Amino acid sequence: MSNRDFLFEIGTEEIPAGFIPRALLEMETRFKRALEKARIEYGEIGTLGTPRRLTLTIKALSETQPETSLEVRGPKVEAAYGKDGNPTKALEGFARGQGVELTDIVTVEAKKGAHVVARKVVEGKVTMDILPEILSAVVTAELFPKAMRWGSGRTAFGRPVHWIVALYGPDTVDFEYAGIKSGNRTRGHRFLSNSGGPVIVNGIDDYADALRNESVIVDPEERRTIIIDGLKHEADAAGGCLLPDEALIDEVVNLVEFPVVLRGGFDKSFLSLPREVIINAMRSHQRYFSLTDDKGALLPYFLTVANIAAKDPEVVIKGNERVLRARLNDANFYFEHDKKKPLSEWLNGLKGVVFQAKLGTSYEKVERFTALALKIGEWLGHKDMKGLKRASMLSKADLVTGVVMEFPKLQGVMGGVYAAIDGEGEEVSSAVREHYMPVAAGAELPSTTTGAIISIADKMDTIAGCFGVGLIPTGAQDPYALRRAAIGIIAIIVEKGFQNLSLGELIGASVAGIGTKLTREGSEVKADIKEFFKERLKNQLLASDLSFDVIDSVLSTTDWDGLVDAVKRIRALEGFKGNPDCARLVIAFKRVTNILKGVELAEGTAQKPDVTLFTDPNESTLAGLCQKIAPEIEKLRAKGDYEGVFKKLTSIKEPIDAFFDEVMVMVDDAAVRENRLRLLNSIRSLYVTTADLSKLTTAE
């Protein structure tokens, strides 16, 4: 079967840098699915892209679908053939409808009786005829988090479309989108293009070189290499070190088509500003990289990645320096103004800042989560409750300061700076700075216990408040970042080892703190929040390569909301799955659970069976062993030695196997039957509070 290479490029106005990686991944994924659904064979598939183009390449794309053999079920045999054995009109009509001869009809036996089947070979379609439909499905899919419309058309895309290249081998695929017809003409760099007009491409092999000649580096990885090498070169030339910032590199790779690294400087007097202010002014607003000396102190330089090779680079550098000077002058003005009064005096300004219409002002929120933080401090036996209260009340005060109003990403950071200037103490200033942590899954956690407690309280208040007034995240929307907040709380509790912090109590206290602002039933809110946390915890544990059945076994217990202990049990159980005795033990426990399912034992007798009702020695043996190891297991549980708990349970494997082999549980005698159910319930109680081992999928 012959094949050709395929090239598809959709050219646009500048697409936001953050949109490009996702769009390329979606294009590749959807194209693969479409080809596989259409049964078209293909070789290597890849993507390329710049701010002005999204490109898909496919090597060795088959020119046709393969032939397919089909079997279509027809009428039953008695309806297909008459008593004389000749075809009926029903059979003839079926054959005509399927486009086959009667000789292509065969009889097939089935459970519901014999019927006829038409066997036919369907020729594969030509790939060139299928590609327009595939391209249409790919470009009309949701490639971007946000799309826009332009002109009078109804087409929505990341940015207005200006050209389309669609080549299958040397031939153009007949395709149209957003009023633009496909062809073999791309475009070079907006300012540096040699041709100044359309650029003809012949296919994959000359595509990258054709664009390179027009000052476009179409491969993102090649641009990344150029940028990293340029940053290192300029840092070395300045006698400094590049401040690591992978996220910024990822962004600028997709901001430029022809990267050129330039170095500029700023007045040393600005180094008196807090380090974070300078870095933020350069990074967030201008996408500049910072340089440090070998001790980590900032140097008065910046590196920027331009999208043009200027005839006189100094002109570009001076322009960037003027912009940065203005930003740093603004920062310096606000910083000096903010310092004129202590951070505590900015707190009242939060009374005029609405946190959420139904939940009140930011000041009210601070009061709520401060009360919650103090409860958490009591549960954890925190030593500096006075410092905890002070740090919590000050934690949001910087939201109304000049620097944070101008540089919003510095919230918390500036609060910590101002607290230190005011002499609030290291613990308080660090806690104020850290209470937003972690800012994302896997990000840095607060280093201080005070900061960790305030972070939990703040995030928990947001979750409880939003759930309490019906602002619950959906699959597509989470405007208050509640998932991120829950993940942050879980990470802090587990990593900090807050053993005495119960998620259930935390949720209860936070919901109670919302008070009269609740618009939903409190018990319903608490149940929803707990389930929300359980799903986040499951996802986090699955991402840590722990087994789903192990996670489910522990999270099915009633006391899983002691997160530190629950995670410890899960990790211990994951190790126990490798024990040779585990498989047969789990099978036995599954039988115990299945027999007890739906059984209601008489009140007051659920735990201990009556030994006088035993009629089989296997009952006595199992009951005796259970009575012996129950206190031993409880001691191991109390110490948190869950490896020991699971190991101890293996001692019951043989007696429980013997019990099931020799003893009938569901006998006619009601007293004996209930007594045996009590015995099995006592067995179940040995493990069910640690993990419901019957949920393990371990096979023998």
CB under 8 Å to 161, separation ≥6 — which residues?
A: 10, 11, 12, 155, 177, 178, 180
Segment holding 478, helix H or strand E: none
Which residues are registered as beta bridge partners of 163? 11
pLDDT tens per residue, range 151-168:
888 899 999 999 999 999
Q: Is the pLDDT of residue 278 over 90?
A: yes
* SS3 state of residue 1: coil
Tokens standing for residue 211: 């664009």
Whether CATH 1.10.3470 fits 345-545: no
Joined together, the tokens standing for residue 228 give 């990293």
Q: What is the pLDDT of residues 388-421, one digit of tens each?
A: 999 999 999 999 999 999 999 999 999 999 999 9
Supply the DSSP string of 201-259, one letter for each residue: --SHHHHHHHHHTTT----HHHHHHHHHHHHHHHHHHTT-EEPP-HHHHHHHHTT-SS-
pLDDT band (50, 70, 90) for residue 603: low
Is domain 3-64+126-212 classified as CATH 3.30.70.260? yes
- The mean pLDDT value for 674-696 works out to 90
Say what the pTM is.
0.81
Taking all residues of the chain, what is their mean pLDDT, rounded to a whole number? 92
Specify the DSSP element, H or E, that contains 306.
strand 298-306
Q: Band the pLDDT of 440: cuts 50, 70, 90.
A: confident
- DSSP, collapsed to helix, strand or coil, labels residue 117 as strand
pLDDT of residue 301: 97
Instruction: Say what percent of the chain tops pLDDT 70.
Output: 98
- Same CATH topology for 3-64+126-212 and 577-695: the answer is no
pLDDT reading at 461 higher than 90: yes
Amino acid 180: pLDDT: 95
Query: Which token pair is 477?
Result: 């929307």
**pLDDT tens digit string along 495-535?**
999 999 999 999 999 999 999 999 999 999 999 999 999 99
- How many C-beta neighbours within 10 Å does residue 461 have? 28
Beta bridge partner(s), residue 9: 55, 165
What pLDDT was estimated at residue 392?
A: 97
What does the alpha-carbon distance between residue 131 and residue 186 come to, in Å, rounded to a whole number? 19
CATH code of domain 577-695: 1.10.730.10
Indicate whether 679 pLDDT > 80: yes
What spatial distance separates the first Cα and last Cα of the chain, rounded to whole Å?
Answer: 47
State the pLDDT confidence band at 699, using cuts at 50, 70 and 90.
Answer: low
Residue extents of the structural domains in the chain:
3-64+126-212, 68-122, 220-338, 345-545, 577-695
| β-bridge pairing 171-172 and 115-122 | unpaired
Q: Distance between CA 54 and CA 549 in Å, rounded?
A: 41
What does the pLDDT read at residue 94?
A: 85
Query: What is the mean predicted confidence (pLDDT) over 542-554?
Result: 93
Does the pLDDT of residue 35 top 50, yes or no? yes
Provide the pLDDT confidence category of residue 125 given band limits of 50, 70 and 90: confident
Q: Write out the DSSP string of 80-112.
A: HB-TTSPBPHHHHHHHHHHT--GGGEEEE--TT
